Structures are given as C-alpha cells and as structure tokens.
Structure 1
C-alpha cells in the first residue's frame, strides 16, 4: 500500500522520470531491437505456398542477405523517440496514479490498471505511433547495407519521416493510431499492474522498499511477457496497416477490419499471432531492462546511490 508520504513524493518528479525513463529506454532499444526487426519481418511475410520461416530462420536470412547491421534497421526512429516515450510513459503513469489514490494514500489494483492504460494511450498518441510508422517502413526494406549500390528508398529515420510526410501527408504518421493506442493501453495496463503488485508483495516479504536488481529484472520479465499475449492480433494488423504506402479514403476502422479479415481468410487464424515469439522475446527482456535501469537511475538522480567509477563516488543532487 502506498503511504501519504509516498503520495506526496510523486509530485515534482517529471524531470527525474524523463531522464531515468529515457536512459532505461535507450538500454532497452540497444539490447532488444534486433528481435523487433525479426518480429516485423515475420508479420509482413506473405503466404507463398512454403512454410513460413520461424524467428531463428528469419533472423539468419536477414543477416545472410542484408548483413548483421540490418537487424538494427529503424533503430534511429526508436532512439529519437525513446526519451520522450519513456518520459511520457512513467510521468503520465505517476500522474494518473496520483489522481486515483484513496484518502489514506493507498491505491487499488483497478486504479493501478487504469493508470497504466492511461499512460499507454498517452504515449501512443504523442510518440509511439509516428515513431513506429517510420520504424516499420525502415525495417520492411529488403536491401543489403553492405552494398553501396543498393540504395533504399528510406535512408534513415529523419529521411523516412520527411519522405512519408512529403509523399503521403502528415496524417500518415498516425495511420493505425487506434490500434497502437489499444495495444499500448493493454500493454501498460497489464505491465504496470503486474509489476507494481509483485513488487509490493516482495517489499512486504523482505521488509524493505529496496529490492535487489535481479528481482526487479525478474518482475519486469514477467510483467513484460503478459502484454503481448493479450494483444498480438492488434499488433499484427497494425504492422500491416502501417506498412502500406498507398492512400485510402476508407475509414481507419474499415481498413482494420478489412486487413484482419483478409489475413484470416488467406493465412488462417494463426496468422494473427505471427511474430509472437520474437515479440515476447523482445518485450519481456525489454521490460526487465527498462524497470531495472529505471529504478537504478531514479536512485542515482535522487542521490540515493551513485554510478561506480564516476566523480569519485559523488552523488547527484
């Protein structure tokens, strides 16, 4: 249960949340982006009469045909958006959470879930959707980064964003935003609820608010794995929708339903779960890294600990 003192401490932490979340997100992206590229390629694979390659074969094919660095296609778009994304995620979560505290400073499981849903929708609309449209366009390009003559349409994240806006209009960056918002809402609702509740139980068990890093990582791993299982079809349809480059006068809902129906008709229900293995492998350890680094950086920024080897053990003020 959160105390009144803990409730008060949530105010004025925007800068801390921004920096700690940004650093955590950067580490997550560097560690896990290759798995996201494999996931996107699996989701974009079209049925061709042959058995679709698994995540290992997909990854090997990318490396063999396009070099190892191709696994990091779209990383620029992720890095550019990761600081505001994580800052918005954690600061908006704490803001929504603060609105749902009971008079005694406690918060229910339902309240925690609602705060997570609110954080997911907020980050989806402000940062995630435009970032993912650019990222997916870059990841979908089948070109070898070792061949200087193989010039891709999109050279990097800023160029991709500029080209998309120039050729298709600014609104293209928000293609599939409803699906992204739904995915992020369920992700963060489940993620924060499971993380916070397991963390509370372990804090009660140990009799201290400070948990060892390995326990924080394990909690993040568990909470991160549950979100993708609940919204995999949304993510697959969203990827197909955001990859398309043609304009359409159809409403977003009509196109979502059409893509979903076509996918099931041509490739079966299992197609809605394409890329679920690398997605879980991407999101689960990603959340383990995120929460571990986030909790550590908060302690550093609050002066409760220090980064070894820096400033002769000086702490941040």
Structure 2
C-alpha cells in the first residue's frame, strides 16, 4: 500500500466551491443527526444519583415524553448558524494546509494528510466550533417542555442565548473549553480526512476512475467518522461539563479541566469519561457519511460535472 498520493487536479473557484458545497453538506448533517447530539449531551451531563444511568434510547425517550419531540432539536439554531462557516473553514483550510505539504514530485504522505486534517480541525474549533458549542450546550441542557407555552426557558434561542451569555458572563465565556475543543476537532479531522482520503484513493485505483458511487462515498465517511470519537471521548465529556457551567472562575482553564476530570473519575468511575459515546458515534459517523456524500456531489454540481436531481428532466421537457 502506497504512503503517498498524487496531487489532485484543482477545482475552479475552490473557495466558493468549499463554501457552498461544505455549507450544504453541513446543513444536511445537522438536520439528520442533531437529535443524537442532544441525547449525547444529556447523557454527559447526567449526575450520578444512586440509580443506573439511563442508556441512550431511554434518555431520548425521556426527553420526548417530558419535553416534547422538538426538544431533541434544542440548540439546532446555533448549529445551523455556524455550520456554513464551519464547513467552509474545514474543507478550505484542509486543502490549504494540504497544498503546503505536497512534495516536489506532486505527492503527499499519509502523515502529511493527517497534519493537514489536524490543522483544519484546530482552525474550525477556534474560529467557529467552540462559541457555537457553548451556546448549543446551554440550550440542550435546559429541561423545559417546548409543548408548554408557559414553560419559558432562560435561553429562548441561539441568538438570545449568545447575547445572555456574553451579557452575564462575558465574551470570553464563549471560548470556555477551547483547548479541549481544539484537541477534539484536531484528532477528529486528522483521523477523519486521513482515513477517508486513503480508502477513497484505494477505491479509485480499484475502479480506475475518480468518481465513486454515492453509496461508496457514504460508507467511507461512515467508517472515517466513527474512528474520531473513539480516540477523544474523554476530552468531549470533560468539555461538555466545562462549557455547561454558568459561574465564573479565577482558575486557569487547565486547572478546571483537570479538576472536572478527577471529579468525574472519583465520583462515577473511569466509565464516566465515555458517557454518551454511543449516541456520539451514532451521530458523528452517519454525519460524516452525509457530509462527504453531499460535499462530493455538490463539488461535481458546481464544477458542471453533475446536475441537481430534477433539473435534467425539466430541461428535457
């Protein structure tokens, strides 16, 4: 198996392509997979009470029964608002870092592909993901019924939550846990892009074409998306606990991170660091399948190599 790959042909108007294709892919991912993310966050925030913690199915059922079905989409506004710049940054920064790491002969090693993915993960984490997740987690953590108009939550929607957080706790609160978010996104995208690109290259070689069927792209995304969460689950659990807190602290971020980690292990055992891993994999893996499939398709549409469903038949008519 070769460790290096040939430099791909450049797509015209790459920046616009990354923005539109990435944003569209991210929107589809959010709409399809957000309920699983809400269940994951609730599981990570569950405090030990002498009873066995509910599993991901029971947690989801509890949310629907007590707070209505639409409660599974709490925080979706924050995700949708941030998804276009997030995906645009992810794919464009990945291609940028990748372009810096090509060898003189036009090839790139597996290690360099991983580094490009790490760079993309850190970039999106700092510029978009962390503020978006602070707002999202605050919304998801609220136990109120969306079916009861008299049950008014503290945070009404994503813009209101962001405004309230900044007003009451300061702008820097939006960057609480940014080091953990950056570490999580770096490992996620490092693994994600490396596994995706390498499997895709092997399939392209096998089929003798650069265009793969959508189902194969989805399968590759599913595999690559599942590996990231397994590598950084403890970071994600600690990050969720840290970003949910509403009180100010004079302690440094690293001190609080260590303190939360120690408290989790002491009170609930090592397994607590992996709370929500099942819904997270169930959310991230199919999310990446959707993202890469829609992204690759939209790139072909924008480059004129494919058409949106229905357009060709309309033209023929």
Same fold (TM over 0.5): yes
Instruction: State the match for 2:77 in structure 1.
Output: 76
Instruction: State the match for 2:217 in structure 1.
Output: 216
1:103 is displaced (CA, Å) by: 1.1
Instruction: State the match for 1:250 in structure 2.
Output: 251
TM-score (norm 2): 0.97
Number of residues of Structure 1 aligned to a counterpart in Structure 2: 312
1:134 is displaced (CA, Å) by: 0.1
Kept in 1, the 8 Å contact 2:6–2:108? The answer is no
Aligned counterparts of 1:297 and 1:286: Cα–Cα separation in 2: 16
1:313 is displaced (CA, Å) by: 6.3
Aligned counterparts of 1:113 and 1:2: Cα–Cα separation in 2: 13
Asked whether 1:161 is paired with 2:162, we answer: yes
Unaligned runs of 5+ in 2: none
Residues 229-240 of structure 1: pairs in structure 2 closer than 5 A: 229-240=230-241
Instruction: State the match for 1:25 in structure 2.
Output: 26
> Runs (4+) of structure 1 moved beyond 6 Å?
none
Instruction: State the match for 1:102 in structure 2.
Output: 103
**Please, what is the CA RMSD of the aligned residues?**
1.2
Aligned counterparts of 1:175 and 1:12: Cα–Cα separation in 2: 35
1:10 is displaced (CA, Å) by: 5.6
Kept in 2, the 8 Å contact 1:24–1:289? The answer is yes
1:11 is displaced (CA, Å) by: 7.3
1:65 is displaced (CA, Å) by: 0.2
SS at match of 1:107: strand
Instruction: State the match for 2:242 in structure 1.
Output: 241
Instruction: State the match for 2:148 in structure 1.
Output: 147
List per-residue Cα deviations over 1:193-212 (Å, max 9, x = no partner): 00000000000000000000
Kept in 2, the 8 Å contact 1:17–1:87? The answer is yes
Aligned counterparts of 1:116 and 1:3: Cα–Cα separation in 2: 17
List per-residue Cα deviations over 1:261-306 (Å, max 9, x = no partner): 0000000000000000000000000000000000000000000010
Going from structure 1 to structure 2, the CA distance change for 1:29 and 1:216 (only over 3 Å counts) comes to: same
TM-score (norm 1): 0.97
1:105 is displaced (CA, Å) by: 1.1
Aligned counterparts of 2:92 and 2:12: Cα–Cα separation in 1: 10
Residues 152-191 of structure 1: pairs in structure 2 closer than 5 A: 152-191=153-192
List per-residue Cα deviations over 1:1-49 (Å, max 9, x = no partner): 6445x25x16740110010000000000000000000000000000000
